[in-house]
Amino acid sequence: MTDGPPLRAVSDDELLALVREWLPGRRWFPAKDNDAQITSAGALTLVDPQGEAEVRILLVRAVTATVDVVLQVPLTLHRNRSAKPETGPGWIGTIGQPPVHVRDGAGDPAFLRAWLAAATGDGGAPADLDIDPDHPRLISGEQSNTSVILPGEHGGAILKIFRALTSGENPDVEVPRQLAADGWWHVPRPLGWLEGTWTEADHDAVGHLAVLSEFIAQATDGFELACQMAGRRESFAELARALGVVVAQMHRALAAALPVTRTDDDDAAAELAAALAERFRWACVRVPELARFAGAVADQVDHLRARTSVPARQRVHGDLHLGQALRARQEWFITDFEGEPLSSVAERTRPDLALRDVAGVLRSFDYAAAVSGASADWATSARAGFLAGYTAASGTDPDPDLLRVLELDKAIYEAVYEARNRPQWSHIPAAALDRLLGPPPD
Nearest to 227 by CA among 374, 115, 127: 374
Q: Contact at 8 Å (CB) between 131 and 148? A: no
CB atoms within 10 A of CB 286: 16
Count the neighbouring beta carbons within 10 Å of the beta carbon of residue 135. 12
pLDDT in tens, the chain (442 residues): 445 555 568 999 999 999 999 998 898 898 766 678 999 999 999 999 999 999 999 999 999 887 889 999 999 999 865 545 566 678 999 998 888 999 999 999 999 999 999 999 887 789 889 999 999 999 987 778 999 999 998 789 999 999 999 888 899 999 999 999 999 999 999 999 999 999 987 789 999 999 999 999 889 999 999 999 999 999 999 999 999 999 999 999 999 999 987 655 668 899 999 999 999 999 999 999 999 999 999 999 999 999 988 999 999 999 999 999 999 999 999 999 988 766 777 788 889 999 999 999 999 999 999 999 999 999 999 999 999 999 999 999 999 999 999 999 999 999 999 998 889 999 999 999 999 998 655 5
Cα-based distances in Å from 6 to 78, 79, 99, 100, 108: 10, 8, 11, 11, 20
Please state which CATH number belongs to domain 220-437: 3.90.1200.10
Q: What is the DSSP string of 399-434?
A: -HHHHHHHHHHHHHHHHHHHHHH-GGGTHHHHHHHH
Of the candidates 68, 154, 82, 71, the residue with the CA atom closest to the CA atom of residue 106: 71
Contact 30, 72 (CB under 8 A): no
Rounded Cα–Cα distance for residues 159 and 148 (Å): 5
Indicate the residue type of 45.
T
This prediction's pTM? 0.86
What is the rounded distance in angstroms from the CA atom of residue 231 to the CA atom of residue 378?
10
For CATH 3.90.1200.10, the residue range(s) in the chain are: 220-437
Work out the angle at residue 238's Cα, subtended by the Cα atoms of residues 236 and 242, and round it to the nearest 5 degrees: 115
In sequence order, what are the residues at sequence separation of 6 or more whose Cβ sits closer than 8 angstroms to the Cβ of residue 234?
none
Q: What's the order of all strands across the beta sheet hosting 331-334?
A: 220-221, 325-328, 331-334
